């Protein structure tokens, strides 16, 4: 029996209602929640030890506005021109009932099945609110898998529980094959030149698509005949034209990493329960109050955060002020072991570290070798470059 009422939405439990109220208080009663997207989840999975980002994203806090209110703004996002160009290209790819998009998917992963014809299904996924759209998408996926026909789901809504709270994700498209396979389609406006695109951009698209695959697997687990493909179809402009072309991207590695990291996240209700009452991240609050609120949640800053989090500049400043070795990099923080500050590491290098700590001993040995090398370099006679003869002219 379905767990959804006639409205298509799951019934809230008292615990869910209490958590939502608590998160609304943290966000600010008059501040609407900022929804999580696949990009944010991929960045969150890359740093699962950061309770600050997990709580703020789970509560729907606008981190861009919060960073500006803290005095450490960070600019993220595409330019308006790039957004318009991307929307135009996506509309071109999905035009004519998605015929071109379905053809590209069949060419890349449709071997052994009949090519899509003019009778391909494009169900209407409109519903009230993200919960309603997610329920409508789940129903459309079930109907398409049972019908055994080519089906294009344009901007479906997928639900994925992250740290105990639901996140609603919207991929560009999901295609259901006649054999019951589901394929995620990512449409990007960066070019694919001679069959290859920029590796960094493809990697970002793969990490984003891996989140969609995870969400689809939650729905497919309830259907016996459904199978979620771990190879997504990436559609980009061909060379320097506006014509679409496609390539297969294997996201099994990104899928495994993202799933493992999301499972490691501390649940949002646990993070919220550890905070004092009255704490609020409303950007309209005074800066001193916001600094105190943000400092109450532990963070795990690393230089990689600069490319993925709006609060990175604020966290970097606090990390440096506290002497956190994480400001140097995650690997450096791991190699220092029990030396939890830069000051402790410098003291160990000077010989003032714990006598029974192998890391401190290694640092002291390295410092001695460096000092000896500098002494030998200073003792060498200066090297003079040969004089250049003057030009006879």
SS3 for the chain is CCCCCCCCCCCCCHHHHHHHHHHHHHHCCCCCCCCCCHHHHHHHHCCCCCHHHHHHHHHCCCHHHHHHHCCCCCCCCCCHHHHHHHHHHHHHHCHHHHHHHHHHHHHHHCCCCCCCCCCCECCCCCCCHHHHHHHHHHHHHHHHHHHCCCEEEECCCEEEEECCEEEEECCCEEEECCCCEEEEEEECCCCEECCECCHHHHHHHHHHHHHHHHHHHHHHCCCCCCEECCEEEEEEEECCCCCEEEEEEECHHHHHHHHHHHHHCCCHHHHHHCCCCCCCCCCCCCHHHHHHHHHCCCCCCCHHHHHCCCCHHHHHHHHHHCCCHHHHCHHHHHHCCCCCCHHHHHHHHCCCCCCCCHHHHHHHHHHHHHHHHHHHHHHCCCCCCCCCCCCCC
Residue 209 lies in a domain: yes
230 with 173, same domain: the answer is: yes
Residue 221 lies in a domain: yes
256 with 288, same domain: the answer is: no
218 with 347, same domain: the answer is: no
Of 260, 287, 307, which residue is a domain's last? 260
Residue 3 lies in a domain: no
The per-residue b/e assignment along 64-98, b for 16 or more CB within 10 angstroms, e otherwise, is bbbbebbebebeeeeeeeeeeebeebbebbbeebb
pLDDT for the residue 5: 42
Of 260, 279, 313, which residue is a domain's last? 260
65 with 177, same domain: the answer is: no
Residue 171 lies in a domain: yes
140 with 230, same domain: the answer is: yes
Residue 54 lies in a domain: yes
How many domains is the chain built from?
Answer: 3
pLDDT for the residue 315: 93
Of 236, 260, 284, which residue is a domain's last? 260
pTM of the model: 0.74
Residue 64 lies in a domain: yes
pLDDT for the residue 2: 38
pLDDT for the residue 230: 95
Q: How far apart are CA 22 and CA 280, in angstroms?
A: 10
Residue 391 lies in a domain: no
97 with 208, same domain: the answer is: yes
Q: For each of the chain's 393 residues, which pLDDT tens digit applies?
A: 334 344 444 455 555 567 778 888 999 878 888 888 888 888 888 888 899 998 998 888 999 999 999 999 877 666 778 888 889 999 999 999 999 999 999 999 988 788 898 889 999 999 999 999 999 999 999 999 999 999 999 999 999 988 777 889 999 999 999 999 999 999 999 999 998 999 989 998 999 999 999 999 988 887 777 899 999 999 999 998 989 999 999 999 999 999 988 888 878 888 888 898 889 999 999 999 999 999 999 999 988 888 889 999 999 999 988 888 878 887 777 788 777 788 888 888 888 877 778 888 888 888 888 888 888 888 887 766 556 666 555
The per-residue b/e assignment along 113-147, b for 16 or more CB within 10 angstroms, e otherwise, is eeebeeebbbbebebeebbbbbbbbbbbbbebbee
64 with 154, same domain: the answer is: no
41 with 169, same domain: the answer is: no
216 with 112, same domain: the answer is: yes
* Domain range enclosing 40: 14-77+267-323
Residue 7 lies in a domain: no
131 with 118, same domain: the answer is: yes
280 with 213, same domain: the answer is: no
45 with 125, same domain: the answer is: no
Give me the residues paired with residue 208 across strands: none
């Amino acid at each position: 029996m379905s767990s959804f009422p006639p409205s298509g939405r799951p019934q809230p439990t008292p615990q869910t209602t209490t958590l939502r109220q608590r998160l609304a208080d943290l966000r600010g009663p008059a501040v609407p929640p900022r929804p999580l997207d696949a990009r944010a989840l991929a960045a969150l999975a890359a740093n699962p030890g950061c309770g600050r980002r997990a709580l703020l994203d789970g509560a729907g806090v606008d981190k861009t506005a919060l960073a500006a209110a803290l005095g450490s703004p960070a600019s993220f996002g595409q330019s308006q021109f790039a957004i318009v160009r991307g929307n135009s290209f996506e509309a071109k790819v999905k035009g004519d009932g998605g015929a071109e998009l379905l053809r590209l998917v069949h060419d890349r992963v449709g071997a052994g099945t009949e090519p899509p014809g003019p009778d391909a299904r494009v169900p209407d996924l409109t519903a009230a609110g993200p919960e309603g759209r997610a329920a409508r998408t789940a129903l459309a996926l079930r109907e398409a898998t049972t019908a055994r026909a080519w089906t294009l789901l344009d901007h479906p809504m997928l639900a994925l529980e992250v740290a105990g709270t639901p996140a609603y994700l919207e991929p560009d498209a999901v295609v259901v094959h006649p054999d019951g396979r589901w394929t995620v389609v990512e449409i990007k406006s960066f070019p694919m030149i001679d069959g290859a695109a920029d590796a960094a951009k493809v990697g970002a698209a793969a990490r984003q698509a891996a989140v969609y695959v995870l969400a689809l697997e939650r729905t497919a687990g309830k259907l016996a005949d459904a199978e979620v493909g771990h190879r997504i179809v990436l559609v980009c402009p061909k060379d320097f034209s506006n014509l679409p072309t496609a390539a297969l991207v294997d996201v099994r590695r990104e899928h495994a990493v993202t799933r493992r990291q999301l499972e490691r996240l501390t649940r949002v209700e646990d993070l919220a329960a550890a905070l004092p009452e009255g704490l609020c991240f409303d950007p309209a609050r005074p800066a001193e109050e916001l600094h105190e609120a943000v400092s109450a949640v532990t963070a795990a800053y690393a230089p990689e955060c600069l490319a993925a989090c709006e609060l990175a500049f604020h966290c970097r400043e606090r990390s440096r002020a506290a002497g956190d070795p994480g400001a140097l990099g995650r690997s450096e923080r791991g190699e220092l072991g029990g030396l939890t500050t830069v000051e402790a590491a410098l003291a160990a290098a000077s010989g003032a570290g714990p006598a029974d700590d192998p890391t401190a001993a290694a640092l002291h040995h390295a410092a001695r070798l460096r000092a000896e090398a500098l002494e030998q370099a200073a003792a060498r006679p200066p090297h003079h470059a040969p004089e250049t003869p003057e030009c006879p002219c």
